[in-house]
Amino acid sequence: MIRVRATFEKSERAKYISHLDLNRCMLRTFRRSRLPIWYTEGFNPHPYYSFALALSLGFESSCEILDFNLTEDIPFDEIKDRLNEVMPEGMRIVKVAEQNKKITSIAKAEYSFSLVSEKTEELFKAVQALIAQEEILIEKKTKKGVKTVDIKPDMEILSCRKVNEAIEITIYLPAGTQTNYNPSLFVEALKKTTDIRFDVEKIRRIAILCADNSVFE
């Protein structure tokens, strides 16, 4: 049995595949590829595969992680090609390799997104003001109810630029088994500080990282 870690892209129309649907979709992709995927043993055997992180509906990604096991030793490139041959449109395996790091070492993810508005200038100021705040409070739904959380200490703005009529932002947000934030929290916080109407476009997860900013692989 070999343990495999695939990195895949999810973009274009594939961004409308929900996480739950992605599970089913991958199962069928494996079956179409006829790769000898390893099944769990026990009363109800099922093919074993798991996604490192869930991706919100509507988000694109260039770095989704999928772990699975094969019962035969097959070259990584062949695994990649066989999967890509039968992947749905918008999904593409970019890399197949060994599982180097433990899932628990995932600490953060890098996202990019753009804000589009008819009043870009004013919105840009509002964004900068928000970033400059000492704390950014948002209401987060948890199992126990709604909780007010300060996301400022956990987020890191990498860039925030005005490009043509849009504001392009890249940001680190915590990800993994402990805390998971996604860019919609930032957008929510922004909406609370400004009345300017804007759309959020092209939300994309660019990288999944460990605590030391090294790429998770």
Quote the least distance from Cβ 77 to another protein, whole Å: 22
Interface of this chain with another protein, residues 62 to 101, rule: CB under 8 A: 86, 88-90
Which residues in 129-162 are b (16+ Cβ under 10 Å) and which e? ebbeeeebebeeeeeeeeeebebbeebeeeebee
* Identity of the residue, 92 or 101, whose beta carbon is nearer to another protein in the bound complex: 92
Scanning residues 162 to 201, which ones bind another protein (CB under 8 A)? 199
- Distance CA(148)–CA(143), nearest Å, equals 13
Q: To 10 degrees, the CA torsion angle through 10, 90, 26, 172?
A: 0
Contact yes or no for 12/90 (Cβ under 8 A): yes
**Which of the stretches 21-29, 94-102, 139-147, 150-158 binds another protein when contact is defined by CB under 8 A?**
21-29
Q: Strand 137-142 relative to strand 60-70: parallel, antiparallel, unpaired?
A: unpaired
Please identify which residue in 3, 31, 125, 161 interacts with another protein, judged by CB under 8 A: 31
Q: What residues contact 191, with CB distance under 8 A and at least 6 apart?
A: none
Nearest approach in angstroms of CB 144 to another protein is 27
Residue closer to another protein, measured from CB, 32 or 147: 32
Least Å distance, CB 119 to another protein, is 19
How far is it, in rounded angstroms, from Cα 97 to Cα 15? 24
CB of 39 to another protein, least distance (A): 7
Residue 1 binds to another protein (criterion: CB under 8 A): no
Residue 58 binds to another protein (criterion: CB under 8 A): yes
Cα separation, 195 vs 137, whole angstroms? 17
Give me 51's structure tokens.
């996604």
Q: Is 25 among the residues that bind another protein (CB under 8 A)?
A: yes
121 in contact with another protein (CB under 8 A): no
For 127, counting Cβ atoms within 10 Å of its Cβ (0-12 exposed, 13-18 middle, 19+ buried), the class is buried
Tell me which of 1, 3, 19, 39 binds another protein, using CB under 8 A.
Answer: 39
- Which of 18, 69 has the CB closer to another protein? 18
Which residues are near another protein by CB under 8 A? 12-14, 16-18, 21, 24-25, 27-32, 34, 39, 45, 57-58, 86, 88-90, 199
